[in-house]
Structure 1
């Protein structure tokens, strides 16, 4: 829905944004956050809290946070640069560049395109976080492991988030450029955009101010160790880290093809921002950015939309379309870091939120809703309740597999309410998530850090419940005649 808003002055908006950010920080007790609100009138960067509860330093706009799966959009943009250079097409078969590429389903390996990998449509095991070492062959090695992974749904079948597809895209980038994936992204995207503090390796990151991740254990926050995930998952978001300033440059480029130049007065210390054309690589300055967010297919539940919204996927970007704005978004979760990033190219508004806490998405969502309402005039629609019968709830109850790990998710009926018992991989045990139904087979989690997350129950042709879909991921129902297939933990988004 669209709400009427009173236009705010540049200064007033900045003050109210910071006030809301501080208020929510107290509510969620996030150790540290770096935020950006970009509007046609200017950029507002807000930094709150500390880098680590054990060794605290104030957060600045140049403090490095892990950006997790936001990295997927950088991998995708690198593919677009290579396409603009005439070195590949996103519609090419993967085997055009990786002739020895294998999957457990030969027909999928033969038909998989680069665009399939960038839009999560491979249907094979999506979360394969195997440590194949820190060498430059990490991606090549993980594809050998992917060759043995199960095919969970058919190619371009039920849509489900798929990290491993980006390993394939990253390896294509390596073969086409002759560089490592990290070096190719740096040369083709980061350097031209002036993103000088977007880095991949700890021995680079540790020479700058960086944030330590924190896990929420009951009501306490504990520093996460180890600090970083494995290199083999890099193109999907396991290693890339950035700053609010760098992400602002990236947002400006995606929205308008321009990047900001920040200049500091040596006498007064005041900063001014000027926006100019992207330079350094002609293909980056001239490629058709709109192809990145042209819808490829509907995905069901929207990742970053309002509860109950249905979303679409573009070339790695999630798309929510409203009368007042089009919003492109992504998010990321790694080791005690959670970030959210969206932009509206038609309104020239962007939102950046990077936290060093495992409940950061809850904070980010609340602040994001404030921005959507106060800046874009968007509000969540009223959703009527749907009350399934006791028999209908019992039909949905059961065990759903968090496969690839020795974990299961139970759905139990408690006092007329269907409740998910979600494994808590940080603290151990489970977290209860009560469901509020808004339609047959569709619900919203109520309460806790996952409040507002959408749930779908998907049925097979015979009408039997086959999958539980939690936002963007599928979890197969356990049956006596079904063998468990590897799927991810909820925290790995």
Structure 2
């Protein structure tokens, strides 16, 4: 097992858990503290919010309904949620192709009706692209999926999580902020963050907390359940950011060589979570962190633990061409979606200046449809059907 204590100290991470599944057994370690103020140590039993990895749990609850014949992924959602618009399907929600503006976080209060109230507010949401046309990461769509689960099960989303997944697996899982009050605090610039975000975002990733070991117990169950295998099948391509990725039913399918890999990641108020599974090898890693350069720790885990055990490799990240072509003028303009703005203006020597949410950097042409940042990190932006795509699709205004 990797020297986690040294690794998180090197990268300024406040606390972390790492769990590894291999040959059917889970091994885990912990390092650092849960809160920089209280200095309570991280143990292997500590809880961390898993943020957007919650989406895989939500997708699993949806797939159970499909397996029982209670939900058709390709029928309009309004057949389950009367009055819901736009006309999208559950499959499009699962695969982030609904076209709904994705980062709406309406605070609809606490309580069992928070998700219901949030979904009602989506009547005001903009449609970034036609349903089924473009992959664009969409938190809002997973709130709708959570509401479908509530309606068809007749119970609040958090209750269904406990009854259908956590309790049968014997997992210690917190599904509300009150339950997770002893979980790791998020940290920004080394200090604890106290704002948890709206409870209406539960199905997309705002509250679910557990240990890395319990997250891998969930992953192990997934691999052993034939009815969930369909969730690992590619459904839609992700725009080409240089990683050959596609998306399944809830799962990210990054383009590794050596065998199929699935996973997800999450981030929430100074917390970061990572899950990677080599599905044919039965190997998985879960890394849960608070504060610091968590991506650097994850990179080390992938290179030194996951890839070695599973015999798989990530694609090499893209880098700027040695002699890039001048950037085509069709990239220039202002693009917006909920919570994000991208402004592309001409710079010298055939480059452009890209201001993404206030962070201005120079970019060059990577391909005729893509830009890449000159300096590290080499972020890639893709022009898709006149949408500027950076993980979310932004509309030219």
* Normalised TM-score (structure 1): 0.74
Question: What SS does the aligned partner of 2:237 have?
Answer: strand
Task: Look up the match of 1:294.
Answer: 233
Deviation at 1:380, TM superposition (A): 3.5
Structure 1 position 474 matched with structure 2 position 396 = no
Deviation at 1:83, TM superposition (A): 2.4
Query: Mean alpha-carbon deviation: is it higher for 80-89 or for 330-339?
Result: 80-89
Deviation at 1:178, TM superposition (A): 0.8
Distance in 2 separating the partners of 1:238 and 1:130:
12
Q: Give a deviation string over 1:366-415, Cα, whole Å, max 9, x none.
A: 4324434433242534867534344x2655344333x434x633345555
1:325/1:344 contact within 8 Å kept = yes
Distance in 2 separating the partners of 1:313 and 1:240:
22
What is the 5 A alignment of 1:77-92? 77-92=60-75
1:412/1:420 contact within 8 Å kept = yes
Q: Give a deviation string over 1:301-330, Cα, whole Å, max 9, x none.
A: 36xxxxx12211110101135451111111
2:135/2:236 contact within 8 Å kept = no
Deviation at 1:23, TM superposition (A): 4.5
Question: What SS does the aligned partner of 2:169 have?
Answer: coil
Distance in 2 separating the partners of 1:358 and 1:157:
36
Distance in 1 separating the partners of 2:141 and 2:347:
38
Gaps of 5+ in 2: none
Q: Which runs of 4+ in 1 moved over 6 A?
A: none
* Equivalences, count: 394
When residues 411 and 26 of structure 1 are mapped into structure 2, their CA distance, relative to the original with a 3 A threshold, is farther
What is the 5 A alignment of 1:295-334? 295-301=234-240, 308-334=242-268
Distance in 2 separating the partners of 1:94 and 1:408:
29
1:161/1:473 contact within 8 Å kept = yes
When residues 445 and 171 of structure 1 are mapped into structure 2, their CA distance, relative to the original with a 3 A threshold, is same
2:54/2:208 contact within 8 Å kept = yes
When residues 383 and 66 of structure 1 are mapped into structure 2, their CA distance, relative to the original with a 3 A threshold, is closer
Distance in 2 separating the partners of 1:235 and 1:148:
20
Task: Look up the match of 1:211.
Answer: 184
Task: Look up the match of 1:485.
Answer: none
When residues 382 and 452 of structure 1 are mapped into structure 2, their CA distance, relative to the original with a 3 A threshold, is closer
Q: Decide which structure has the larger Cα Rg and report it.
A: 1
Deviation at 1:191, TM superposition (A): 1.1
Task: Look up the match of 1:489.
Answer: none
Distance in 2 separating the partners of 1:475 and 1:363:
30
Structure 1 position 51 matched with structure 2 position 34 = yes
* Normalised TM-score (structure 2): 0.90
Gaps of 5+ in 1: 1-13, 104-108, 258-286, 303-307, 424-429, 461-465, 483-493
Q: Give a deviation string over 1:129-181, Cα, whole Å, max 9, x none.
A: 00011121111211221011111100101210111111111111111111001
Question: What SS does the aligned partner of 2:70 have?
Answer: coil
When residues 383 and 72 of structure 1 are mapped into structure 2, their CA distance, relative to the original with a 3 A threshold, is closer
2:5/2:32 contact within 8 Å kept = no
1:332/1:338 contact within 8 Å kept = yes
Distance in 1 separating the partners of 2:118 and 2:368:
40
Task: Look up the match of 2:342.
Answer: 409
Question: What SS does the aligned partner of 2:124 have?
Answer: coil
Question: What SS does the aligned partner of 1:205 have?
Answer: coil
Distance in 1 separating the partners of 2:111 and 2:73:
27
Structure 1 position 176 matched with structure 2 position 152 = yes
2:325/2:365 contact within 8 Å kept = no
Task: Look up the match of 1:224.
Answer: 193
Q: Give a deviation string over 1:29-59, Cα, whole Å, max 9, x none.
A: 0111111122227433121211111111111
Equivalent residue in structure 2 for 1:396, among 331, 338, 346:
331
1:24/1:367 contact within 8 Å kept = no
Distance in 1 separating the partners of 2:346 and 2:6:
36
Query: Mean alpha-carbon deviation: is it higher for 78-87 or for 179-188?
Result: 78-87
Deviation at 1:355, TM superposition (A): 1.0
When residues 468 and 370 of structure 1 are mapped into structure 2, their CA distance, relative to the original with a 3 A threshold, is farther
Distance in 2 separating the partners of 1:98 and 1:28:
46
